[in-house]
Amino acid sequence: MTKEGSVNCPVCERTTDMSWCAREDCDIIGAMGEGDFEAGVQIFFDQWDDEVFQSIEVAMVTDPKNWWVGAHLWWGMRMRNMLRTNGFLDDRSPSGNLDDIYVELIEAAVKKWADDST
Ligand SMILES: [Zn+2]
């Protein structure tokens, strides 16, 4: 029996209180549709100049695991909405919620930028 308010993770099917369980071994990116991850990365990659990439990279290096936490409520939601206004809607996330994947998309866009500029 699952406790009230909890659901099964759409990726690994284990019980979670959130839209996605966010466990270390739960591969939400791997559960995305073919080409969806790359398409989301490309939206961020196309929007930003070097200055933006640089400032995110600094934040990521400073706190690789939690760099986005303090920024989620304003900056992060703006970034998530940027995906939506570019036609990348919540149904592209296996959990049905872009909040669960936008950070990974941003991290991959920054990595792509860093790889391209070396
Ligand atoms: Zn899961």
pLDDT in tens, the chain (118 residues): 445 678 889 899 999 888 888 888 999 999 999 999 999 999 999 999 999 999 999 999 999 999 998 877 788 999 999 999 999 999 999 999 999 999 999 999 999 999 987 7
Q: How far is the CA of 91 from the centre of ligand 1 (A)?
A: 17
Q: How far is the CA of 54 from the centre of ligand 1 (A)?
A: 32
- 2 in any annotated domain: no
- 11 in any annotated domain: no
Q: How far is the CA of 112 from the centre of ligand 1 (A)?
A: 26
- 13 in any annotated domain: no
Q: How far is the CA of 75 from the centre of ligand 1 (A)?
A: 26
What pLDDT was estimated at residue 3? Answer: 56
Counting the structural domains of the chain, the total is 1
Query: Where are the strands (E) in 1-118, listed by range?
Result: 7-8, 15-16
Burial class (CB in 10 A: 0-12, 13-18, 19+), 66: exposed
- 10 in any annotated domain: no
- 71 in any annotated domain: yes
What pLDDT was estimated at residue 1? Answer: 46
Q: How far is the CA of 73 from the centre of ligand 1 (A)?
A: 24
Print the domain residue range for 85: 28-117
The pTM (predicted TM-score) of the whole model is: 0.88
- 70 in any annotated domain: yes
- 54 in any annotated domain: yes
Q: How many CA atoms lie within 13 A of 96 on its CB side?
A: 4
- 8 in any annotated domain: no
Q: How far is the CA of 101 from the centre of ligand 1 (A)?
A: 13
User: How far is residue 93's CA from residue 38's CA, in Å, rounded to a whole number?
Assistant: 13
What pLDDT was estimated at residue 87? Answer: 97
